[in-house]
Every structure is written in structure tokens, then in C-alpha cells.
Amino acid sequence: MDTTSHLGLLLVFSAFVSIAFAVLARDEPREQLTFGAKLFGTFVGSAVLLGWLLYPLPL
């Protein structure tokens, strides 16, 4: 993976945080997997959405 890709770094960050939160917040492995996947999707989805919402704004 290109280590300077913003999206790549976002995906890796989201994966790390989702795993840690899922492991701390849920006890059963299946629940951890479901919760972690939801968190990951929310992280990435909201970042992409915010990116598009900010797109029209001038730098």
C-alpha cells in the first residue's frame, strides 16, 4: 500500500481503532466481529461523506 495515500491511512487507522473498540466493548468473538465491522464501516463511510460535503469549499 502506498504509505502516503490518505484513503489508505484512513482505512488502516479505522481498522486499528475498530478492532480495539470491538475487543473492549464486546465479549463474544462473533459480537466483536459484527460490532467491529459496523464501526469500521461507520468510520470510513462518515469520512468519505464528510470529504464529499467539504469538496465544494475553497481551500
Partner 1 sequence: MPAPSGRRSAPAANPYLVCAAAWAVPGGGHLFLGRYQKGLTLLVVLPLMFASGLWIQGRIFPFQFSDLLVGLAAVADLGIGLPYFLAKLAGAGAGNVIAITYEYGNTYVIVAGLLNMLAMLDAFDIAMGRK
29-54 and 6-25 helices, crossing angle to 10°: 150
Distance CA 17, CA 22 (A): 8
> Could you say whether residue 48 binds partner 1 (CB under 8 A)?
no
Amino acid at the residue 58: P
Closest contact distance (angstroms) between CB of 13 and partner 1 is 6
Site for partner 1 in 7-26 (CB under 8 A): 9, 12-13, 16-17, 19-21, 23-24
Single-letter code of the amino acid located at 15: A
Binding site for partner 1 (CB under 8 A): 3-4, 9, 12-13, 16-17, 19-21, 23-24, 27, 29
